[in-house]
Chains A and B, each alone.
Chain A
Amino acid sequence: MSFMSRTGILASAGVAAMLAASPAAAQIEIQWWHAMTGANNEVVNKLAADFNAAQKDYKVVATYKGSYPDTMNAGIAAFRAGNAPHILQVFEVGTATMMGARGAIKPVAEMMKEAGEAFDPKAYLPAVSGYYSTAKGELLSFPFNSSSTVMWYNKDAFRKAGLDPENPPKTWPETFEAAKKLQANGHPNCGMATAWVTWVNIEQFSVWHNVPLATKANGIDGFDTELKINSPLHVKHLENLVEHQKTKVYDYAGRTNTGEGRFTSGECPIMITSSGFYGNVKANAKFDWANAPMPYYPDVPGAPQNSTLGGASLWVMGGKKADEYKGVAKFFAFLSDTDRQAKLHTDSGYLPITKAAYEKVKASGFYKENPYLETPIKELTNKEPTENSRGLRLGNLVQIRDIWAEEIESALAGKKSAKAALDAAVERGNQQLRQFERTVSR
């Protein structure tokens, strides 16, 4: 008995010694919190698994944290509690909030440099990297899933209404005309619609027409920015929407993307929304479909300009150890790899983030078969970005978007004139901007 127990003790001591020795060789864990569901969740998990299989020093652990706002709030709460993840996926709306919290984040460019990873900011598509860079061009967060606004249309409905499906409307007046014809030919409740009402009709709209959304290059050059969305062009556009809402040539489809189902169900033959709608359309639309660039007003000089991003980027949280940052940097280098980017783009429909990946996919002839995936890239790179089209960076944008949507809803419901609604949207939005400015600049 005593012999047995002695060996037992020896054995357990041996195990303990092994356990104590193992941390030196152990992998460093890198937490990645994200908001991707369905097929995109698979993409995220596969990226983490591929990275973990490709090297031994680091282990990326991807965790789903709910919707975009939920994930962002989880990250913020974790930061306050002192256990933030290394990588946090934040939607484009939260960009200014993250940037404002300089003490909470680690700028990506700085991290790559410190970790000694090869990093050339020029390798990235400027329309993509510009959105997540400072005014001086320092990349703060790593672009991950990006999309732009495009016009999806039902080719069968176009044929039925006597419209040319290979020649979709290019301007807003043409689009409204097409919607009228479509409405008269089997779509009484909805000639056309837009999802993400503020993103499409205010944010992308301003950028695409090269008119300022806000002063200071839409907030990129400083938090003391003021909204400009009550310009005559903005008012004219909202007036048009209001007028067509009355007859349902245009029908309001809500603040988020929940109205997108009205396109795939066949109810609305034109839907202006994210290019990320691709997977859903491909899976669910039982008709011939296509997409085209978003419309513009032909009397605006310089329109169309270029579009800006939707989607999300990966933020590196501050206060972590140097070897952990090394791992994150390695992971980002892994994500930027041309072949991987090209595959990610063609598999998922996300935009490629590097120029090389885009050229590679283009050269492969992929877009001849799938022109729908190239429309958003063509929009983003249509022209060299200007002060008004580089992107936007407004603090409290989550609340501001709701305020804008409220005012647009008032106008569409006939409670306010378009001008009064947009004036109120500017005034109330500016209050939010001032409050944000106070909390970040201290």
Chain B
Amino acid sequence: MDKRAIFSGKALPYMLLLPQLAITIIFFYWPASQAVWQSFLLEDAFGLSREFVGFENYRTLFQQREYYDAMVNTAVFSSLVAFFSLSIALLLATQADKNIRGAHGFKTLLIWPYAVAPAVAGVLWIFMFHPSLGTLAGPMRVMGFDWNPLLDGGDALALVVMSATWKQVSYNFLFFLAGLQAIPRSVLEAAAIDGAGPLRRFWTITFPLLSPTTFFLVVVTIVYVFFETFGIIDAVTGGGPSGSTTTMVYKVYSDGRLGGDLGGSAAQSVVLMVIVIALTAIQFRYVERRVQY
């Protein structure tokens, strides 16, 4: 069962690895190292003047109260989106996995939102929930609910959480469904014969057997929330009101691209990089141990 290929020299294996290595170096290590280098510089937007300032960008960053606010927002936002997108997807997947009429149609429809671009998803949700133009905001106001995401930070956060969740549910749904279909029916049937109800079967058999999928999706969703929800936030709230939906990645964008503060923005992306690396490492080191393959 030894699957190792034996190469006579060292040149060929390295040559075979070269394309992959080149891609990794050009598209990951090189830009990442640029970001690290940039974070030690103070520069004007045009690059006419630059000065090496050491850790000054980091010091300034950690003196900003807004940066800690952005961290808190990111934590709240990512846990809410991860929780809702995973649990809703799991619920939908378990239902779609049953033998119901039109299951195929439901499955297809549930996958659609994933194909919608983040900015478009954001705009769709604005159309529904804009305080004065939204189709759903009017009825909400009639019911006596003072909905105003333009001024109320909680409302704004709810809106971006809903949009981001809606978009990620499809992806998670697909993987959960595949995971469910891989669970042997015989195990479930045996449990049913032993008298286990549907809920008990789910929690003692299905859920543990799904754990590799769940683990994978948790990692993917966290990365999604950290980096890819930025388009939605930009379209829906622009980080407002008063910074209550500014996540760390959105701040990188607004300081760097809109504000031209490349050094400060680079410092933020380095911090973000460290956090994501740490999170992923923790997940693989501790969470994965409890996952049953």
Contact = CB atoms under 8 A, between A and B. Distances in A.
Chains A and B bind each other: yes
Contact of A103 (B42, B46, B153): B46
Contacts of A399: 254-255, 258-259, 261
Contacts of A255: 238, 240
Interface string A45-88: 00000000000000000000000010001001001100000000
Interface string A258-281: 010110010100000000000000
B143 to A, nearest CB: 15
A440 B51 CA distance: 12
Given A255-B238, A439-B44, A267 B132 contact: yes
Given A398-B260, A402-B254, A439-B42, A80 B47 contact: yes
Nearest to B153: A413
B49 A442 contact: yes
A442 B43 CA distance: 10
A263 B267 CA distance: 42
A435 interface: yes
B241 interface: yes
Contacts of B44: 100-101, 439-440
B260 A407 contact: no
Contact of A409 (B47, B48, B141, B242): B242
B187 interface: no
Contacts of B260: 76, 97, 396, 398
B150 interface: yes
A172 B132 CA distance: 24
Contacts, number: 83
B266 to A, nearest CB: 14
B151 interface: yes
A142 interface: no
A284 interface: no
A435 B153 contact: no
B243 interface: yes
B152 A413 contact: yes
Nearest to A402: B254
Instruction: Count chain A CB atoms within 10 A of each CB in B153, B240, B259 and give the residue with the most.
Output: B259
Interface string B29-55: 000000000000011111111010000
A157 interface: no
Interface string A207-218: 000000000000
B59 interface: no
Interface residues of B, number: 29
Interface residues of A, number: 40
A409 B150 CA distance: 8
Instruction: Count chain B CB atoms within 10 A of each CB in A267, A439, A442 and give the residue with the most.
Output: A439
Nearest to A421: B242
B222 to A, nearest CB: 27
A267 B153 CA distance: 23
Instruction: Count chain B CB atoms within 10 A of each CB in A79, A103, A413 and give the residue with the most.
Output: A413
Nearest to B45: A76
A399 B243 CA distance: 12
B259 A398 contact: yes
B151 A413 contact: yes
Contact of B48 (A101, A261, A412, A415): A101
Contact of B49 (A73, A254, A439): A439
B257 interface: yes
B46 A76 contact: yes
A396 B241 contact: no
Instruction: Count chain A CB atoms within 10 A of each CB in B132, B239, B243 and give the residue with the most.
Output: B132
A262 B131 CA distance: 10
B281 interface: no
A439 B43 contact: yes
B133 interface: yes
A399 B49 CA distance: 20
A220 interface: no
Contact of B45 (A101, A252, A253, A254): A101
A406 interface: yes
Given A410-B242, A412-B151, A104 B259 contact: no
Contacts of A79: 46-47
A189 interface: yes
Contacts of B238: 255
A100 B152 CA distance: 37
A227 interface: no
A190 interface: yes
A423 to B, nearest CB: 14
B103 to A, nearest CB: 41
B25 to A, nearest CB: 22
A265 B130 CA distance: 14
A103 B47 CA distance: 10
Contacts of A439: 42-44, 49
Contacts of B43: 439
Contact of B242 (A69, A406, A432, A440): A406
B261 A413 contact: no
A409 B151 contact: yes
Contacts of A122: none
A262 B43 CA distance: 41
B259 A252 contact: no
A405 interface: yes
A442 B49 CA distance: 7
B71 to A, nearest CB: 17
B240 A80 contact: no
22 contacts: A69-B258, A76-B46, A76-B260, A79-B46, A80-B47, A101-B46, A103-B48, A104-B48, A190-B132, A255-B238, A399-B255, A402-B258, A406-B242, A407-B242, A409-B240, A410-B241, A410-B242, A413-B151, A413-B152, A413-B153, A413-B242, A438-B42
Which A-B residue pairs are the 7 nearest by beta carbons?
Answer: A399-B259, A439-B44, A409-B241, A409-B242, A406-B242, A410-B242, A101-B46
Interface of A: 69, 73, 76, 79-80, 97, 100-101, 103-104, 189-190, 245, 252-255, 259, 261-262, 265, 267, 396, 398-399, 402, 405-407, 409-410, 412-413, 415, 432, 435, 438-440, 442
Given A73-B257, A254-B150, A442-B49, 15 more contacts: A76-B45, A101-B46, A104-B48, A190-B132, A252-B150, A267-B132, A396-B260, A398-B258, A399-B254, A399-B259, A406-B240, A407-B242, A409-B151, A412-B151, A413-B153
